[in-house]
């Protein structure tokens, strides 16, 4: 045991979380044999629980590892996470209170189910649902990578601890549903805030202040490169990456589930105002990447093996071990590990909700509402087991590449879900065609990029416009859907299939 004090504190925090996960079933008790109770917590979470829950599933363990790692390796481009997390909250405020009202009235528990109700088109809902599930699987795997990194940093060998952790995760997800991650999210977020606040005070003080930290960063990593003549260069890539990422975040099944579990539209609006506190925390966390550069941890012999195995993702664990006493390193690593369990649980539950309502009940004869919760619970186990196999069998590089692709895919659901909250102009089949065009074009461009990046340089009338692939392709998706909707609405309108009413959206 390389770091005994850190390991003992880490294991103690994980044990506390396991107990909380199993006892959560009795918190705000409801009938967990009903899918709305198991998969949405009965839609009874108030402002503060929703704040912890939505923040807990949006700011994941991989976020706390990857953003500082990006700053450590690539520099200023890593700050795209700041404008990105600023832009998401106006979207949350404008879109999701309306979606909540409709979902509550008609008993919808997923985004695809809302789409099916809006258009009467189970095939469009199936496409949206499968997109969510396939985008979520590598996302769960990345939570495993985050946990695996801190377990490795503690010197705990092998995959057994990871397997045990996620076996327990599967068990308390099965028994307690969304109440488990909601309760654990409170502990996780308090630990994360504690860790970040201490880090941004103690580490710069040890390194001689923020001025000394920035003085040790290469000038090229402090600012985006100025664009060359005839191009917007890194500027447009940075801006479109932030905007496209913001458009996609709340479309992931786990974030939608967290929102729909709120007790009402006003709770969502309050959270749109309160959640930017996480953006401040994320900005401070990003600076930890620069602190890792300034501390020189990459050149310290004791961390050479970690950087060789985990790359720049090892920057945060190495800095924590170097800067803090063992017990506090255990607290920090516990926060990151719990930050993996919370979103992974919500992701499994959200995917299970989609499978049950949008695939099983629609395409498998003989399914009945009374068995929905059982089906959802079993599928949540499939998601967790699949992600675990994913990370144990498939190289980490592939998991990261598939998560990159998942972001490109999930944004293609934006027209069908977000536009439909505000208008019934679109035809369901046109939206399905636009979705297909968006999925195919995004996958093709990422493949042409050799899965190495998310920015593509578009050449327009002799001008080069680098753009986030997801944003460019979802615009193409929307144009195709709009153009096709005109003749389809005229000759084969599907508006009679809309089971919602105009007044539902007021």
Domain boundaries, the chain: 29-226+238-400
Mean pLDDT, residues 60-83 taken together: 86
- What is the fold of 29-226+238-400? Sodium/glucose cotransporter (1.20.1730)
Nearest in space to 259 (alpha carbons), one of 369, 346, 135: 346
Comparing 461 with 412, which gets the higher pLDDT? 412
Residue 309's pLDDT is 85
pLDDT of residue 1: 58
Locus of tokens 């985004």: 111
Q: Measuring CA to CA, which residue among 283, 238, 311, 216 is closest to residue 64? A: 283
H or E element in which residue 459 lies: strand 455-460
Q: Kindly tell me if the per-residue pLDDT of 410 is higher than 90.
A: yes
The candidate with the shortest Cα–Cα distance to 247, out of 454, 91, 60, is 91
pLDDT tens track for 129-179: 999 999 998 888 788 878 888 888 888 776 777 788 778 888 888 988 898
Binning pLDDT at 50, 70 and 90, where does residue 366 land? low
Q: Is the pLDDT of residue 40 over 80?
A: yes
Between vectors from CA 250 to CA 248 and to CA 256, what angle results, nearest 5°? 140
**DSSP of 197-228:** HHHHHHHHHHHT-HHHHHHTS-GGGTSPPPPP
Q: What is the pLDDT of residues 322-351, one digit of tens each?
A: 999 999 999 999 998 888 888 888 999 999
- pLDDT-derived band at 315 (thresholds 50, 70, 90) equals very high
pLDDT in the model for residue 369: 58
pLDDT interval class at 499 (50, 70, 90): very high
The answer on pLDDT for 295 being more than 90 is yes
Q: What is the mean pLDDT of the chain?
A: 90
Q: How confident is the model at residue 451 (pLDDT cuts 50, 70, 90)?
A: confident
**Spatial CA neighbour of 116 closest among 413, 411, 481, 502:** 413
- d(CA 156, CA 333) in angstroms, rounded, equals 13
Choose between 364 and 256: higher pLDDT. 256
Q: How confident is the model at residue 367 (pLDDT cuts 50, 70, 90)?
A: low
Largest CA distance in the chain: 71
Alpha-carbon gap, residue 292 to 312, rounded angstroms = 10
3-state secondary structure of 441: helix
Q: For residue 396, name the pLDDT band (cuts at 50, 70, 90).
A: low
| Whether pLDDT at 239 is above 80 | yes
Percentage of the residues of the chain whose pLDDT score is greater than 90:
58
Residue pair 376/38 in contact (Cβ under 8 Å)? The answer is: yes
Q: Which pLDDT belongs to residue 57?
A: 81
How confident is the model at residue 370, as a pLDDT?
59
Encode pLDDT of 264-294 as tens digits: 999 999 999 999 998 888 899 999 999 999 9
Per the listing, tokens 């990261």 go with 400
Which range is least confidently modeled, 105-109, 118-122, 175-179, 208-212?
175-179
CA 312 to CA 307: how far, in whole Å? 6
From 344, 209, 193, select the one nearest 279 (Cα to Cα).
Answer: 193
pLDDT tops 80 at residue 398? no
Which whole-number Å values give the CA distances from 480 to 32, 250, 339, 398, 432, in the listed order?
A: 42, 23, 39, 31, 10
Task: Indicate the pLDDT class of residue 461, thresholds 50, 70 and 90.
Answer: confident
Q: Note the pTM of the prediction, 2 decimals.
A: 0.93
């Amino acid at each position: 045991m390389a770091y005994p004090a850190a390991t003992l504190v880490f294991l103690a925090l994980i044990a506390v979380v396991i107990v909380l996960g199993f006892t959560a079933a009795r918190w705000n008790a409801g009938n967990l044999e009903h899918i709305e109770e198991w998969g949405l917590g009965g839609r009874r979470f108030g402002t503060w629980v929703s704040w912890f829950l939505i923040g807990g599933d949006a700011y994941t363990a991989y976020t706390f590892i990857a953003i500082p790692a990006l700053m450590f390796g690539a520099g200023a481009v890593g700050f795209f996470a700041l404008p990105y997390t600023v832009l998401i909250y106006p979207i949350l405020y404008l879109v999701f209170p309306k979606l909540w009202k409709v979902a509550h009235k008609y008993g919808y528990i997923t985004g695809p189910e809302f789409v099916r109700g809006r258009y009467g088109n189970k095939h469009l809902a199936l496409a949206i649902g499968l997109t969510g599930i396939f985008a979520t699987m590598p996302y769960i795997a990345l939570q495993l990578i985050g946990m695996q990194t801190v377990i490795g940093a503690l010197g705990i060998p092998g995959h057994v601890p990871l397997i045990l952790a996620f076996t327990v995760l599967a068990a308390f997800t099965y028994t307690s549903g969304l109440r488990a991650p909601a309760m654990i999210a409170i502990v996780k977020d308090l630990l994360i805030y504690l860790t970040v606040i201490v880090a941004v005070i103690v580490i710069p003080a040890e390194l001689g202040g923020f001025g000394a930290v920035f003085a040790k960063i290469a000038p090229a990593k402090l600012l985006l490169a100025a664009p060359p003549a005839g191009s917007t260069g890194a500027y447009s890539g940075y801006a479109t990456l932030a905007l496209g990422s913001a458009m996609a975040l709340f479309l992931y099944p786990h974030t939608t589930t967290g929102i729909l579990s709120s007790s009402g539209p006003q709770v969502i609006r309050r959270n749109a105002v309160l959640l930017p506190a996480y953006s401040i925390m994320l900005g401070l966390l990003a600076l930890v990447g620069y602190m890792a550069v300034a501390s020189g941890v990459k050149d310290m012999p004791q961390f050479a093996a970690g950087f060789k195995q985990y790359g720049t993702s090892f920057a945060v664990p190495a800095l924590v071990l170097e800067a803090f006493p063992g017990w506090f390193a255990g607290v920090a690593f516990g926060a990151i590990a719990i930050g993996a369990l919370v979103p992974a649980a919500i992701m499994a539950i959200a995917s299970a909700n989609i499978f049950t309502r949008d695939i099983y009940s629609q395409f498998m004869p003989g399914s009945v509402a009374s068995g929905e919760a059982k089906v959802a619970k079993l599928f949540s186990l499939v998601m967790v087991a699949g992600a675990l196999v994913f990370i144990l069998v498939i190289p980490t590089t592939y998991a990261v590449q598939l998560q990159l692709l998942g972001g490109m895919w999930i944004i293609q659901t934006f027209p069908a879900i977000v536009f439909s909250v505000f208008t019934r102009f679109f035809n369901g089949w046109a939206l399905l065609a636009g979705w297909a065009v968006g999925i195919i074009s995004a996958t093709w461009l990422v493949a042409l990029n050799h899965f190495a990046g998310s920015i593509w340089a578009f050449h327009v009338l002799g001008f080069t416009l680098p753009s986030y692939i997801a944003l460019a392709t979802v615009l193409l998706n929307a144009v195709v859907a709009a153009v096709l909707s005109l003749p389809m609405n005229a000759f084969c309108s599907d508006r009679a299939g809309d089971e919602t009413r105009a007044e539902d959206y007021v």
